[in-house]
Amino acid sequence: MLRFIKSCLSCKLFFFAFVVVFCTPSSFPQRSQLSQRVREISDFIASDSFTSLKENQGEFFAIDSLYSTALHLTENDIQEALLALTFSVVPYKYVPIQFVIRIKYPLISADDSTFKQKNKNLPKYFLPDSPTNEFGDKDKLAHFFGNAFVAYTSRVFDLTKAIGYFVEVFEENFTTDNQIDYRDLKVNQLGEAFGKSLKKDKTLFPSSFIKKYQP
62-72: pLDDT as tens digits: 999 999 999 99
Residues 40, 106, 182: CA angle, nearest 5 degrees: 90
- pLDDT given at position 59: 97
Sorted by where each begins, the domain ranges of the chain are: 11-210
Residue segments in the chain with a per-residue pLDDT below the cut of 50: 1-29, 156-162, 164-166, 168-178
pTM: 0.76
Rg, the chain, Cα only: 16
Rounded Cα–Cα distance for residues 199 and 191 (Å): 13
Spatial CA neighbour of 34 closest among 89, 83, 93: 83
Largest CA distance in the chain: 49
